[in-house]
Amino acid sequence: MGTEKGKKNIIKPMVVAEHCCNHKGSVDTAMQMIKEASLAGADYAKFQKWYPKESLTDEHYNSPHPDMAQSFGEPYGIHRENLEFDISIHKDLQKYCEEVGIGYSSSAFDMTSLKQIITLNPDYIKIPSQKNTVLDFYPVLANEFDGDVHVSTGMTSDAEINIILEHLDKNNLLERTVLYSATSCYPCPHDQIHLLRISKFCDLYGDLVKAIGFSGHHNGIAPDIAALALGARYFERHFTLDRTMKGTDQAASLEPQGLMKLCRDLVNVDLGLTNRPEGILDSEMHNYKKVKSGEGKLI
């Protein structure tokens, strides 16, 4: 791998509201989600792009949904198709993101989807955990796309991560790569988040890639704050208008109020993650003069 540092100056923690299939195939719901994510303070509204007959094996396409109560059609491939937006709708979603002041992005689950999302020229494209070992994606991103590449690492061994990074380096993509720590479980039990993997990524890859990210599928927001302290700079959380709605990802998602609290807390904690300078702080001087300046000095 290359040795030059790929980190760029990221002003603040970047929050990605993963819309996934929580819009239930409704453009109106997707638009409302974009608006609420923007109001909450998120930096990006991220969608997914599938061509199910290309993304899925024939066996998977023709299998029943594993949770029939959450199915939007049978077999599973039809369920996925019923949740899918074509590229013209993605273009409309991107335009609406611009109107309300939030970035647009999307994951790509197959080559056709990848090439279509490239035509929209978003700030970044996400390679999801399910597809990060499809190594043919990376030359296409290198040759046809100028934005950043976000790579998730759920369901991925350390050996596979090293191979992925080698291919990113081979295609001169490391400096625009954000590497996410993730556990592909929905919702994810807290003892399966394995936050210290973020520290490991920072130590091993922090000088090679643009940034380390955290893609969480847990309940609550406490682990995200810990992830910030451990070195993550991008924070992706599934987002919904209502966690009780139909869909397998709803229960592992944040509602608007939760997303707003996450954005607020990440910024505030990030401000506090600094070393204290030597001496008495300016912010302490009022109380110092009031309660301590008359006491004996040690130095």
Residue 198 has pLDDT above 80, yes or no: yes
Which amino acid is it at 253?
Answer: S
pLDDT at site 292 = 87
4: confidence class by pLDDT, cuts 50, 70, 90: very low
- Asked if pLDDT for residue 219 goes beyond 70, the answer is yes
What pLDDT sits at residue 7?
A: 43
Shortest CA distance to 106 belongs to which of 65, 48, 166?
48
**Average confidence (pLDDT) over 206-225:** 97
Alpha carbon dihedral 98, 181, 60, 149, in 10-degree steps, equals 40
What is residue 55's predicted lDDT score, i.e. its pLDDT? 97
User: pLDDT-derived band of residue 38, with 50, 70 and 90 as boundaries?
Assistant: very high
pLDDT, residue 58, reads: 97
Tell me the CATH class for 14-291.
Answer: alpha beta
Q: What is the pLDDT of residues 151-171, one digit of tens each?
A: 999 999 999 999 999 999 999
pLDDT greater at residue 82 or residue 5: 82
pLDDT tens string 89-146: 999 999 999 999 999 999 999 999 999 999 999 999 999 999 999 999 999 999 999 9
Round to whole Å and give the CA distance between 68 and 73.
Answer: 9
pLDDT above 90 coverage of the chain, percent: 92
Residue 296 zone, left/alpha/beta (φ > 0; ψ -120 to 50; rest): beta
Question: Domain limits of the chain?
Answer: 14-291
Rounded CA-CA distance 294/8 in Å is: 47
Mean pLDDT calculated for residue range 36-51: 98
Residue 239 to residue 210: CA distance in whole angstroms: 25
Return the closest-CA partner of residue 93 out of 28, 166, 178: 28
For range 220-230, the mean pLDDT: 98
pLDDT at 10: 67
Rounded to whole angstroms, how far apart are CA atoms 4 and 192?
A: 33
Q: Is 217 helix (H, G, I), strand (E, B) or coil?
A: coil
